[in-house]
Amino acid sequence: MTIAPWLSIVGIGEDGLAGLSPPARALIDTAEILVGGARHLALVPDTGIPRWSWKTPLRLTVDDILAARGQRVCALASGDPMWFGIGVTLARHVPTRECTIIPHLSAFTLAAARLGWPIADCACLTVHGRSIDLLAPHLAPRQRLLVLSENADTPAQVARWLVSRGWGPSRLSVLARMGGSNEAIASGSAESWSAPRGDDLNTLAIDCVAGPEARAFTTAPGLPDDAFIHDGQLTKREIRAATLSALAPLPGELLWDVGAGCGSIAIEWMRAAPRARAVAIERDPARVDFIARNAASLGTPRLKIVAEAAPASLAGLERPDAIFIGGGISDEALLTACWNALAPRGRLVANVVTIEGEAMLAAWHARHGGVMSRIAVSRLERVGPYHGWRALMPITQWSVVK
């Protein structure tokens, strides 16, 4: 049985009903249940129909909406509901054929228009309900960021965060209540930020300028070794770049980094592709601490950390699209567990330095194919008053598609 559209998701701006198209206005006027935040609901005259405010946690209201299937429910959203908005959440639960979505101008569109920034050249991000550390991968000279704030405290928090990372000269603009009669803009540098606490509804624009102590890290694989806190248990830069190339990160895919050490492979995987996810599995408590600190400083605070030994810790984890084994392979049970868990057409990459580990990879290569590589790297170092090449331990790498 086909269910007619019953849920409408309407974007609304600071100009309220006056800024809506006739179809959007009609969906609000004919709704039997109206859902939205207090600010949204205040923009619509009360006609006596039920008006639901969002509950905490949000899932409670989503459940209420699903229970009202068949009634005309209209959910109000700020700007574009499908750009970090409530439309994204509702679309996960309600089939598209049962929804009508009408967007308004997004905060990103309005901010770019106010500042004269080409929106296609800006990184559009949000820290609403998320860590400010997510901005880290986007810090680069002359990069422009448009950021949805959590609340009125966000601009000052971001200013301090930029200063702590050496990006104090960056210019900030806070755009509040855009499109309404109370629209306001405050600007200044991060290092001298002194604007008073403004409105909770604001968008932050950042024009990135590097100070003398700033470091800009590429999203291409192979960050410098000193970008990570570690105790020596680190896949070295040259090996890491080759390993990430073999793992081939793709948008939205999930990696298991087994024996993660300081988390360098998992972190670079997440930085390399949009929405890429990773689980770092590491049993050593000190190294787990390194992983957490590195994930925050390099902009991947959503990295999941499993502080237990593999293979026992792998049970119950979401099936991965790729697996990296870099913590040594002491028994075949680990390889077997990883191989069985790997999704079809998934990639597995294992690096070893011992003869015993190499023999095990050779046996699996004979059984499943793939590519065996020997990677040898030497680095120039001082030898007294001169310089010479010092070899790192050669790595044997097995890369295979299941």
Condensed to tens digits (0 to 9), the pLDDT of residues 119-178 reads 999 999 999 999 999 999 999 999 999 999 999 999 999 999 999 999 999 999 999 999
Instruction: Please say if the pLDDT value at position 336 is more than 70.
Output: yes
Taking only the tens place, the pLDDT of each residue in 236-246 is 999 999 999 99
Which of the four CATH numbers 3.40.50.720, 3.40.190.10, 3.40.50.2300, 3.40.50.150 does domain 225-401 have? 3.40.50.150
Would you say the pTM of this structure is higher than 0.85?
Answer: yes
pLDDT digits over 218-239, tens only?
999 999 999 999 998 899 999 9
Class of 108-207 in CATH: alpha beta
Name the residue with tokens 């859902």: 35
- Give the pairing type, strands 99-102 and 7-12: parallel
- Continuous H helices in 96-153: 107-115
Domain 7-105 belongs to what topology? Cobalt-precorrin-4 Transmethylase; domain 1 (3.40.1010)
Tell me the Ramachandran region of residue 232: left when phi exceeds 0, alpha when psi lies from -120 to 50, beta otherwise.
left
pLDDT of 1 strictly over 90 = no
At a CB cut-off of 8 Å and minimum separation 6, what does 297 contact? Answer: 133, 136, 229
Beta carbons of 400 and 339 less than 8 angstroms apart: no
Name the nearest CA neighbour of 402 among 362, 370, 358, 364: 370
Beta carbons within 10 angstroms of residue 146's beta carbon: 25
User: Domain-by-domain residue ranges, the chain?
Assistant: 7-105, 108-207, 225-401
Asked whether residue 3 carries a pLDDT value surpassing 90, the answer given is: no
> In CATH terms, are 108-207 and 225-401 the same topology?
no
**pLDDT exceeds cutoff 90 at 92:** yes
Q: Would you call 322 helix, strand, or coil by DSSP?
A: strand
